[in-house]
A and B are shown apart, each in its own frame.
Chain A
């Protein structure tokens, strides 16, 4: 069957098998910026935004989100025009191996859209589903706080 998504603002049409999960469909079609392979929704590396809400793409059927807007990490910022969250993750040492980073940043992005002035508890709660084995989370939390500051100052460092 065919599905249509608006991925990072661009309409894309894919051929899928009915039982396939979104992660596999997107990665097969070149969206390798989405990581992860636990297929239980437990590690969060495959997080994407579906109509602005973070979801683990390994646990959602590709067919089920037909027609929806999907945002991947590339949708919020690119190498030459990074989002303040991406800048903040780099500046605070929040990126180690980087495998969980796109998912963690997307969860933080969704949080800041809803709540531009989060508490530390809010940040912890928003990133709770994105497992990271390298950083121990402290610098990730600092990164989100720093991004809040960058966004408030309205400047990209």
Chain B
């Protein structure tokens, strides 16, 4: 498979130059005349009932066109989670409600001529709240007698809302209790992860307007255009056919835009006023009212035999989904399904998850999707098992990881909120990743050796991971490809490039299949009127699912082209035909014809038809990519500051279709993971208000914060993916917490059980050790 012309070759991202020269590509770069500006009033209380709301003064304020509350908007319960239908998230959300469930819940919205007028009018809305007792801790929330957050009778799909349980999962394989009894060493630990936000540099933003025929157009910064269409239709009680959703370039998503949170409000204003409407979140709103990462408490128990074979694993996760259950069940599912199969040598496995409602900001999808939180615990516990066994943690991982040809009962037992699909691993380079990564970081020279320079102590740590590639038998993407006179092709597909470069991957797949250059593929994506369906950008599905659909369409088009060439050449079959340099060549006869000639002929001259095809892709497979991370840190015993010095990410993502883009995904994810491990954290007041909703107090990394980063790719060929590819988008955010945690232990023999690993927590752990 080394004779690829385009796959695996350096190919410029097709939209990069337009972005680098500031073309008007984003949602908010389209400015329509007479656009109404929308601002939202948020609840100052974590738990309250609106007893009375008076909007009359606000309505009279100059420029105000509309004030929206629960009183004058559709009251249809739904989920904001942009998932496939039927959504595995509970229906527990209204566009506006009488009950406030967190500081940041929506009270009302104002649409006015200017943003300033809308903001001023918000201040004139008089609200009388009946404040209710609130609960912020996930353990407290599910105790008997805790305040009930969702007491609305219409709620469906939540496990036990009376106990604030949005969801619950139990999976058992073998006999885990017996497994622990039979084990020679047992480790049991609890780890806790924190609230964090995706912080795409472009916040959520939506522009709606009516087209020339009175249909609603939603131009929105989303990862899920087709789910936006369906859920807006549902929430407003209007037909799907009345809505067109357009996704232009998106300024990053990372999961927070797999959610329908602005679109229904904007749409409603446009439908009522017949005017364009715009709603753009500020950075503060992005923090308090968009979506966050579910904080987890993870209890992990591992039993192992003396020979270093894992024998029993129990994971209990308690996640905090905040005030609404968006992605609660499926994020928790992934905490088991994307971690436990990695250690398939353990015969006895139990996974139990509780997903708690609390009166804190709403959690949702975030790159890593539960696996990140679970690995934070599991991969530190693995190191602890190794220590008890007196074994190198690298060796322990090597003995126990899943291999090609193997499976894990977890694949079948645990899917996305329901039963999963049996998977046999077909490509896995974990041994190579372990070996090459260890060599690059100098594992055997440095691990377990005390190294110190004054107050600065050095340590190295590692972690091992898998993820998935789309959701098997659920995620579907489709693509249409059609041929033009000059041998160029229009690719119309539902795949949702949110900055990852998926459109470029799609162009490369078409180009490889048809023997043309990527520049000859005109990509138009994610427009519900113009392109076929795709579930959107989540679950690491882009290259595998959307790319898979593009490959199917391209193969069909290829067949159509070859049929025409066969006739032209006067030959009997197409098996000796190749497509190369924009031509079909018969290797048998040496005859050739350009794609342009074929296009002219079929469009204008004889046997006239449009060479075009649609391909749909849904797969019973979700091949896991694999990664092994290594980090070397310097930790200052006096200040408690951890400084990563070198980070090695060794990754098997199958065949990298575009090496530059793959590198960007890996480094982007791990740098996000680094700051999740070290700095990023919501600080709440004791009444549930986020105290640091800005980039000064919530620290995301800048150029100065990154260590030396080394990416190692171990290329495999995944037979179920397009041109051998697996996913790469999420997996590398999982490493930094456990790898740094393990490095910290290597350096100072301290283990922190709560992230992020701030200087305060490090100093406290040092103090407690003494």
Which A residues are within 8 Å of any B CB, using their own CB? 28, 30, 32-40, 42-43, 45, 72-74, 77-79, 82, 86, 89-93, 95-102, 105, 123-125, 127-141
Within 8 Å CB of A98, what residues of B? 15-16, 19-20, 25, 249, 251, 499
B643, chain A: closest CB distance, angstroms: 15
Binds A, one of B153-161, B581-589, B593-601, B700-708: B700-708
- Cross-chain contact of B201 among A40, A89, A99, A123 (Cβ < 8 A): A99
Q: Within 8 Å of chain A (Cβ to Cβ): is B24? A: yes
Within 8 Å CB of A34, what residues of B? 22
24 pairs, CB–CB < 8 Å, chain A vs chain B: A30-B31, A39-B282, A42-B283, A42-B695, A73-B20, A90-B17, A95-B13, A96-B501, A97-B201, A97-B202, A97-B498, A97-B499, A98-B20, A99-B26, A99-B202, A99-B252, A124-B704, A133-B199, A134-B252, A136-B668, A136-B671, A136-B709, A138-B667, A139-B660
- Cross-chain contact of B706 among A33, A89, A129, A137 (Cβ < 8 A): A137
A128 lies within 8 A of B704 (CB): yes
Alpha-carbon distance A133/B663, docked complex (angstroms) = 14
Q: Known contacts A133-B200, A138-B667; is A37 also within 8 Å of B283 by CB?
A: yes
8 A-B pairs closest in CB distance:
A97-B499, A33-B22, A98-B19, A99-B251, A93-B660, A136-B671, A42-B695, A136-B667
Within 8 Å CB of B29, what residues of A? 32
Q: Within 8 Å of chain A (Cβ to Cβ): is B521? A: no
B703 lies within 8 A of A141 (CB): yes
Most chain B Cβ neighbours within 10 Å, of A95, A130, A136: A136
B1-49 interface (Cβ within 8 A of A): 12-13, 15-26, 28-29, 31
B702 lies within 8 A of A131 (CB): yes
Alpha-carbon distance A43/B2, docked complex (angstroms) = 43
Q: Within 8 Å of chain A (Cβ to Cβ): is B250? A: yes
B201 lies within 8 A of A74 (CB): no
A46, chain B: closest CB distance, angstroms: 10
B534-564 interface (Cβ within 8 A of A): none
B487, chain A: closest CB distance, angstroms: 23
A89, chain B: closest CB distance, angstroms: 5
Nearest B residue (CB) for A123? B703
B203 lies within 8 A of A96 (CB): no
B499 lies within 8 A of A134 (CB): yes
Within 8 Å CB of B198, what residues of A? 133
Alpha-carbon distance A92/B16, docked complex (angstroms) = 10
Most chain A Cβ neighbours within 10 Å, of B15, B17, B660: B17
Alpha-carbon distance A96/B288, docked complex (angstroms) = 26
B420, chain A: closest CB distance, angstroms: 30
**B interface majority secondary structure:** loop
A96 lies within 8 A of B21 (CB): no
B701-745 interface (Cβ within 8 A of A): 701-704, 706, 709
Nearest A residue (CB) for B198? A133
B671 lies within 8 A of A37 (CB): no
Alpha-carbon distance A137/B669, docked complex (angstroms) = 11
Within 8 Å CB of A99, what residues of B? 26, 200-202, 251-252, 499
A82 lies within 8 A of B20 (CB): yes
Alpha-carbon distance A80/B17, docked complex (angstroms) = 9
Alpha-carbon distance A127/B13, docked complex (angstroms) = 22
B22 lies within 8 A of A136 (CB): no
Alpha-carbon distance A78/B127, docked complex (angstroms) = 51
**Interface size of B by Cβ–Cβ distance < 8 Å?**
55
Q: Known contacts A37-B282, A79-B23, A96-B499; is A32 also within 8 Å of B17 by CB?
A: no
B706 lies within 8 A of A136 (CB): yes
Which B residues are within 8 Å of any A CB, using their own CB? 12-13, 15-26, 28-29, 31, 198-203, 249-252, 254, 280, 282-283, 498-501, 660-661, 663-664, 667-672, 694-696, 700-704, 706, 709
A134, chain B: closest CB distance, angstroms: 5
A139 lies within 8 A of B663 (CB): yes
Within 8 Å CB of B500, what residues of A? 96
Within 8 Å CB of A39, what residues of B? 282-283
A134 lies within 8 A of B249 (CB): no
B326, chain A: closest CB distance, angstroms: 21
Alpha-carbon distance A18/B671, docked complex (angstroms) = 40
A3, chain B: closest CB distance, angstroms: 19
Within 8 Å CB of A73, what residues of B? 20-22
B201 lies within 8 A of A100 (CB): yes
Nearest B residue (CB) for A92? B660
Most chain A Cβ neighbours within 10 Å, of B19, B22, B24, B661: B22
Alpha-carbon distance A134/B250, docked complex (angstroms) = 12
B16 lies within 8 A of A133 (CB): no
Within 8 Å CB of A93, what residues of B? 13, 660-661, 663-664
Alpha-carbon distance A48/B98, docked complex (angstroms) = 44
Alpha-carbon distance A33/B24, docked complex (angstroms) = 6
Alpha-carbon distance A74/B501, docked complex (angstroms) = 23
B702 lies within 8 A of A79 (CB): no
Within 8 Å CB of B26, what residues of A? 32, 35, 99
Alpha-carbon distance A148/B432, docked complex (angstroms) = 36
Within 8 Å CB of B251, what residues of A? 35, 97-99
Alpha-carbon distance A4/B704, docked complex (angstroms) = 37
- Cross-chain contact of A135 among B203, B283, B668 (Cβ < 8 A): B668
A32 lies within 8 A of B663 (CB): no
Alpha-carbon distance A24/B672, docked complex (angstroms) = 30
